[in-house]
Amino acid sequence: MLSAIVMALTLTACSNEVQDTHPNQPVTKRKAIFKQMLRTLEPMGMVVREREDYDRQTFLGGAQKLRQLAMEPWMHFTADSNYPPTRAKPDVWQEPAKFTQAQKKLEESTEKLLRAAESGNMELIRPALNSVEESCKSCHQQYRGKI
């Protein structure tokens, strides 16, 4: 048992992950928000794909939370936040107008999802959720680098 603990601690110490040592940790803060967004979006996707049962109030709560989260990470993309462990590509800072457009696209798509969720109509919800997922995907392709 002791050797298993020592082995686990040794492997943990060998981790290649770079720590965020910036005083305000903007990279860590925005990553945490994006993870919350993913954890909120995934169960909604399961409902839309009919892998989980639809509960109107639960889905609406998810849409409300996602809408709020979609507004939050952008303040953490400051000029001094382009340092490891960021996965943001330099285009974030080199093309700020385009990056702002991508942000607005996500914000607009989450607003549409919220309105669709308020209606309770899955025929409106499904394309609205797909639009949110597409907004995420296109932004990641353009502005997020590989690990």
- Domain CATH for 107: 1.20.120.10
- The pLDDT tens digits of the residues spanning 20-29 come to 877 789 999 9
Within-domain flag for 16: no
Within-domain flag for 11: no
Q: Report pTM.
A: 0.85
* Non-local CB neighbours of 9 within 8 Å, separated by 6+ positions: none
d(CA 58, CA 77): 31
* Helix, strand, coil content of the chain in percent (nearest 5): 70, 0, 30
Range of the domain at 128: 25-143
Q: What is the pLDDT of residue 22?
A: 79
Number of separate domains in the chain: 1
Q: In this model, does residue 108 exceed pLDDT 90?
A: yes
Q: In this model, does residue 104 exceed pLDDT 90?
A: yes
Q: What is the pLDDT of residue 23?
A: 78
Amino acid at 85: P
Q: What is the pLDDT of residue 1?
A: 46
